[in-house]
Amino acid sequence: MLRRSNYHILYLPNDSNPSGNWHGFNVEVTKEFCDFARKLKIEHEHYEDLTYDMIKVAGWPHISKENFSGPLTGWDGGLLKHIIVPGNASSLVLSFELPDHPKYISHNIDDISQMSALMAVITRYILQVEYSIPVKKRRL
């Protein structure tokens, strides 16, 4: 498949879960995207705050940071490894199961509010990395 960018968002059908109420998505990224992102200087605290804000906007307005036992995001340098939102271990995790085809895989997304929060954070991150890649190296 010819890819015209360094990422591709795949929405999973609602019937991919027997209950029919699962709102999942995966984000395929290129190995080059990951290698470039890992070297970037990313303000991790910005993404912690963004994730927390998106969680509040997406449906948990009264939640506080004390409700979480650890960070909401995980990093390898500038490479975002995971995002966690409230729920039954709801998250978006970077997988290198196929080393040349990394992708962010959603886990335990039970409702649209979880999906909305994760989608807001990952799209902001992807755009930051994409626009940091020099124009001559971008896939157009």
Residue 137: DSSP 8-state = G
Where is average pLDDT lowest: 9-18, 30-39, 94-103? 9-18
Q: What is the mean pLDDT of residues 124-131?
A: 94
Q: Is residue 67 part of a domain?
A: yes
Q: Is residue 57 part of a domain?
A: yes
Q: Is residue 2 part of a domain?
A: no
Q: Which domain holds residue 44?
A: 7-137
Where is average pLDDT lowest: 83-87, 91-95, 136-140? 136-140
Give the per-residue pLDDT at 140. Answer: 52
Q: Is residue 22 part of a domain?
A: yes
Q: Which residue has the higher pLDDT, 15 or 73?
A: 73
Give the per-residue pLDDT at 89. Answer: 78
Give the per-residue pLDDT at 24. Answer: 84
Phi, psi (degrees; rounded to nearest 5) at 32: -60, -40
Q: Is residue 52 part of a domain?
A: yes
**112 pLDDT band (50/70/90 cuts)?**
confident
Of 103, 92, 118, 124, the residue nearest 27 (C-alpha): 103
Q: Is residue 1 part of a domain?
A: no
Mean pLDDT (the chain) is 86
pLDDT at 119 over 50: yes
Indicate the number of domains in the chain: 1
Strand order in the sheet with 73-76: 7-11, 25-29, 103-107, 91-95, 79-84, 73-76
Of 27, 29, 25, the residue nearest 6 (C-alpha): 29
Residues of the chain above pLDDT 70, percent: 85
